Structure 1
Amino acid sequence: MTAPALVALAHGSRDPQSAATIKALVDQVRALRPDLRIEPAFLELARPSFGTVVDKLVRAGYDEIVVVPLLLTEAYHAKVDVPAAIAEATSRHQGLQIRATRILGLETAFLEVLDRRLRTALKEARVRELDALVLAAAGSSDALANQAVARLARLWSSRHRLPTVAAFASAAPPTTGEAVRQFRAEGRRHIAVGSLFLAPGAHPDRAAELALEAGAVAVSAPLGADPEVARTILARYAVGAVELVPV
Structure 2
Amino acid sequence: MAAPALVALAHGSRDPRSAATVTALVDEVKALRPDLRIEKAFLELAKPSFQTVVDKLVRAGHDEIVVVPLLLNEAFHAKVDVPEQIAEATSRHPGLQVRATDVLGLEPRFLEVLDERMREALKDARVRELDALVLAAAGSSDPLANQAVARLARVWGTHHKLPVTAAYAAAAPPATGEAVRAFRAEGRRHIAVASLFLAPGRLLDHATELALEAGAVAVSAPLGAHPEIARTVLARYAVGAVELVPV
**TM-score normalised by the shorter chain: which range applies?**
over 0.9
Tell me what 1:96 maps to.
Answer: 96
Shift of 1:173: 0.1
| Structure 1 portions without partners, runs of 5+ | none
Structure 2 Cα separation of the partners of residues 74 and 183 of structure 1 = 29
Letter of the aligned partner of 1:158 in structure 2?
T
Matches within 5 A, 1:77-116: 77-116=77-116
Partner secondary structure for residue 57 of structure 1: helix
Tell me what 2:226 maps to.
Answer: 226
Letter of the aligned partner of 1:102 in structure 2?
D
Structure 2 Cα separation of the partners of residues 167 and 98 of structure 1 = 35
**What is the root-mean-square deviation in Å for CA atoms of aligned residues?**
0.4
Structure 1 runs (4+) deviating above 2 angstroms are none
Letter of the aligned partner of 1:96 in structure 2?
L
Q: Write out per-residue CA displacement over residues 166-207 of structure 1, whole angstroms, 9 at most, x where no aligned residue.
A: 000000000000000000000000000000000011111111
Structure 2 Cα separation of the partners of residues 88 and 191 of structure 1 = 46
Tell me what 2:67 maps to.
Answer: 67
| Structure 2 portions without partners, runs of 5+ | none
Shift of 1:116: 0.4
Tell me what 1:13 maps to.
Answer: 13
Tell me what 1:159 maps to.
Answer: 159
Q: Write out per-residue CA displacement over residues 191-227 of structure 1, whole angstroms, 9 at most, x where no aligned residue.
A: 0000000001111111101000100000000000000
Tell me what 1:184 maps to.
Answer: 184
1:42 aligns with 2:34: no
Q: TM-score, normalised by structure 1?
A: 1.00
Shift of 1:15: 0.5
Tell me what 2:25 maps to.
Answer: 25
Structure 1 Cα separation of the partners of residues 128 and 99 of structure 2 = 46
Q: Write out per-residue CA displacement over residues 115-134 of structure 1, whole angstroms, 9 at most, x where no aligned residue.
A: 00010000000000000000
Structure 2 Cα separation of the partners of residues 203 and 96 of structure 1 = 36
Shift of 1:49: 0.4
Q: Write out per-residue CA displacement over residues 107-153 of structure 1, whole angstroms, 9 at most, x where no aligned residue.
A: 00000000000100000000000000000000001000000000000
Percent pairwise identity: 82
Give the total of aligned pairs: 247
Letter of the aligned partner of 1:109 in structure 2?
R
Structure 1 Cα separation of the partners of residues 15 and 151 of structure 2 = 29
Structure 2 Cα separation of the partners of residues 45 and 93 of structure 1 = 24
Structure 2 Cα separation of the partners of residues 107 and 245 of structure 1 = 26
Structure 2 Cα separation of the partners of residues 127 and 14 of structure 1 = 33
Structure 2 Cα separation of the partners of residues 190 and 217 of structure 1 = 6
Tell me what 1:170 maps to.
Answer: 170
Shift of 1:26: 0.3
Tell me what 1:133 maps to.
Answer: 133
Shift of 1:105: 0.3
Partner secondary structure for residue 62 of structure 1: coil
1:53 aligns with 2:67: no
